[in-house]
Amino acid sequence: MSDPWDSGHAAPRQSLSVKAAMEMGTNSTEKFYRIPKGKGPHSVGCTDLMTENAVEGSFLRLYYPSCDTTNNEEAPWIPDKEYYQGLSDFLNMYRVVGERLFQYYVGSVTCPAKSNAAFKPGEKYPLLVFSHGLGAFRTIYSAICIEMASQGFVVAAVEHRDESASATYYCKKKSISEPQEESTSNMEKEWIYYRRLKTGEEERCLRHKQVQQRAQECIKALNLILKINSGEEVMNVLNSNFDWNSLKDSIDTSRIAVMGHSFGGATVIESLSKEIRFRCGIALDAWMLPVGDNIYQNSVQQPLLFINSEKFQWADNILKMKKLGSNDTNKKMITIKGSVHQSFPDFTFVSGEIIGRFFKLKGEIDPNEAIDISNHASLAFLQKHLSLKKDFDKWDSLVDGIGPNVIPDTNIDLSPAEPE
């Protein structure tokens, strides 16, 4: 079970193109599927932040409660064509085919958050740092991040540069010899694409190394937001008209949590073990292979919620989660019935039925219902462990696995195999 996307991506290249072409020809209205809006009381804005010093710097998308605004556009969901190329590599498709398919299907998709909208001042918001899965990047968990921001969180969705994102970039100064563009920008994007395992390379070794870097990137993002909160000037190498000074004194520095999906779930665990300022964590369908053995020796003291899909998990992976939380009532696990590994990222909302089934982007449960269960359980858990004064405790029963389409613990049979 080495591939946490579990998406059938080694499918023959040709058959995918044929299926996709069929779907395009017959049902182009599927293009207009939408990523769900936040259901909380706040409008949501988002903006991108990249600090200097190239690869070692931070790169994140910030989702935040915003002032009601009509003049800001919704943010593009996938902001650069290079992300399509990276996804094509990751999914084993020819880049030229993949780029055209993604462009056709999701090129016009926006996420329901207003780009660079003014930050809503006047209260202190808890901070949530979000870590993406293998082959993903900062923008494709927007349904989760936007819901959290609409409920009053500031969410920093990190884009990891450990070669586990399908694509990412940093900005570097152009060499003098290159002609200056009209925009007179002296920066250019240096792209980093997903790195496949080399022949004979042991996956666990690579993933463990990557998860260490990912945890450091989450901690760096935390430090960066707290720096901005304390009023320090931060240089954003991405030109945007967002006023970072408006965040001053707006983060509740005692209420900070970390959340992530798949490889991001492993990153949550690693981050909790390294950084006590993360008061609790939520791991969505965590992939446990990258987690170091040393972590199981009581190095995660904070409360931790595992939210699993029904179709992705297997005994060895679940046993590792349980090893982490044995005899600790603040470590919880629930499973969402009818869900698949891809019920957490946004692709589940923007894919039509054929592509959705072919790539296992859709489970038997309605995608909106699955994400609601996940978000509501997360909010209830965060209220409890960050001591929030909200009404999220109305969803407490979900954290115990009680309610429609949710089961306590796991659906996986963990009884030892009978000896032959």
pLDDT, tens digit (0-9, with 9 covering 90-100), for 293-331 = 999 988 899 999 999 999 999 999 999 999 997 778 899
Tell which residue, 94, 81, 83, has the closest CA to residue 20: 94
CA distance 322 to 299: 14
- Which pLDDT score, from 0 to 100, does residue 302 have? 97
Domains parsed from the chain with CATH numbers = 13-171+185-408 (3.40.50.1820)
Q: What is the largest CA-CA distance in the chain?
A: 72
Would the pLDDT of 181 be above 70? no
Say whether pLDDT at 82 is over 60. yes
Catalytically active residues, by annotation: 262, 285, 341
How far apart are the C-alpha atoms of 233 and 227, rounded to whole Å?
8
pTM for the model = 0.91
What the block records as the tokens of 418 is: 């009978």
Res 27: pLDDT: 44
SS3 of residue 155 by DSSP = strand
Looking at residue 342, what DSSP letter applies? G
Residue 201 has pLDDT above 60, yes or no: yes
Residue 129 exposure: Cα atoms within 13 Å on the Cβ side? 36
Confidence class for position 12, pLDDT limits 50, 70, 90: very low
382-405 pLDDT tens trace: 999 999 999 999 999 999 999 999
What is the per-residue DSSP string for 129-151?
EEE--TT--TTTTHHHHHHHHHT
Can you give the pLDDT at residue 255? 98
Bridge pairing between strands 59-66 and 43-50: antiparallel
pLDDT digits 0-9 by tens, 92-143: 889 999 999 899 888 899 999 999 999 999 999 999 999 999 999 999 999 9
241 has pLDDT over 50: yes
